[in-house]
Amino acid sequence: MNDICLASVGTAVPPFTVKQDAAFTILEEQVRGTVEASSLVFARKVFAHPSVKSRHFGVDTPQELFGEDPDKRIERFTKWAVRLSSEASLAALAAAGVAAADVSAIVVNTCTGYICPGISSYAIEQLGLDRTIPAYDLVGAGCGGALPNLELGGSLLAGRPRTAVLCVSVEICSAAFQMGDDVSLIVSNAIFGDGASACVLTDRPGGIRLLDSAALHVPEYRDDIRFVYKHGQLHNQLTAALPEVAGKVVGAFIAGFLKKNTLSVADVTHWALHAGGENVMNNVKAQLGLSEGQVRWAREVLAECGNMSSPSAVFALKKILDAGVAPGEWGILVAFGAGMSAYAQLFRKE
């Protein structure tokens, strides 16, 4: 991917924003009497954790989340996935100075809803893209989905010189909202939010170059982090072992990836990490021996937006790019999630 330039990143979140204390109050009002009192006590404690301060949801009112039937849920998913994808894409295209006519392919990934035709079809319509371009919809990669998206986008660009490829990650995590006494659901309701990111790839000289990439799949840990279907609807499944599992898997994976590229943790200035959650982030940080400064951007994204699944790492990347990357500095994009799977993308400013 040495000839691939990351020209720009755009992000978008829904306008409905809620602070964590208000979010708990809404949850308590809606579910009191339908769950155990101990579940609400536990939920209050999780919602009060300072690692997440606010989140954004694709709703007009929060009450929509409660008692939403499957038809209304997929309708809401479609509305907000299309809207946020378009907003993030327009921001990225404008920042890159790329016209819609110059986009030669689009890749969209999501794991929080399924529609056919996929979100890419709507994006082509909304953005006014050429209707003959290749369009790919990736599903099922979970929180790591933005990175295989970039890898596919880079491959598509390689055969289309002097054009641009649009790589969009969008998750309406609230479309998987469920409430019950299951700890997985309580934790999920306290940390997940909605959002979208878009990256514009070009073959322009200079700028941020995307270099090596890698992936790892560890199906032995599949049940520690995944979606499961119950009564025809998605339910998040997270086990208590997840922070330790994520730290072990991601730590060894990234250490090996850096060694392959003759780099060490100290050589990499910029870390665009998917935070996951506070305990997950702390375990990954400890396994890799990262400083607090190296996980700063991931923590900021988690605090401001919660865990948005696949766009989260790209939100951290945008913060890095906005803060500035000096010529010659190395950076790494790291995401992980369902499967269990982990992904890495090495980049450098020319």
Q: Is the CB of residue 163 less than 8 Å from the CB of residue 101?
A: no
How does pLDDT run across 299-322, given as a tens digit for each residue?
A: 999 999 999 999 999 999 999 999
Which residue bears the tokens 């209304």? 72
What is the tens place of the pLDDT at every residue in 73-109?
A: 999 999 999 999 999 999 999 999 999 999 999 999 9
With tokens 């006494």, the residue in question is 181
Cα→Cα distances 92→125, 168, 269, 335, Å = 17, 10, 24, 21
**Ordered alpha helix ranges (H), the chain:** 20-31, 37-47, 70-96, 119-127, 146-158, 183-191, 242-260, 278-288, 296-305, 312-323
Bridge partners of 10, per DSSP, are: 198
What average pLDDT is seen over the chain?
A: 94
Yes or no: domain 4-202 corresponds to CATH 3.40.50.10490: no
Q: How many CB atoms lie within 10 A of CB 239?
A: 15
Residue 17 has pLDDT above 60, yes or no: yes
Q: Is pLDDT at 160 greater than 70 in this prediction?
A: yes
pLDDT of the residue at 339: 86
Amino acid 2: pLDDT: 60
pLDDT of residue 72: 94
Residue 234 vs residue 205, higher pLDDT? 205
| pLDDT mean over 211-232 | 88
Architecture of domain 208-349: 3-Layer(aba) Sandwich (3.40)
153: closest CA among 137, 139, 167, 140?
167
- Predicted local distance difference test score (pLDDT) of residue 347: 97
- Can you give the residue ranges of every domain in the chain? 4-202, 208-349
The answer to whether domain 4-202 and domain 208-349 are alike in fold is yes
Predicted pLDDT of residue 233: 79
Name the residue among 344, 98, 48, 333 with its Cα closest to residue 202: 98
**Nearest in space to 288 (alpha carbons), one of 256, 321, 331:** 256
Answer with the residue of higher pLDDT: 213 or 179.
Answer: 213
Report which residue type is found at 88. A
pLDDT > 90 fraction of the chain, expressed in percent and rounded: 83
Q: Is 60 exceeded by the pLDDT of residue 268? A: yes
3-state secondary structure of 167: strand
Cα–Cα distances in Å, from 244 out to 166, 249, 307?
Answer: 35, 9, 18
What is the predicted pLDDT for the residue at 346?
Answer: 98
How many other β-carbons are positioned within 10 Å of the β-carbon of residue 280? 27
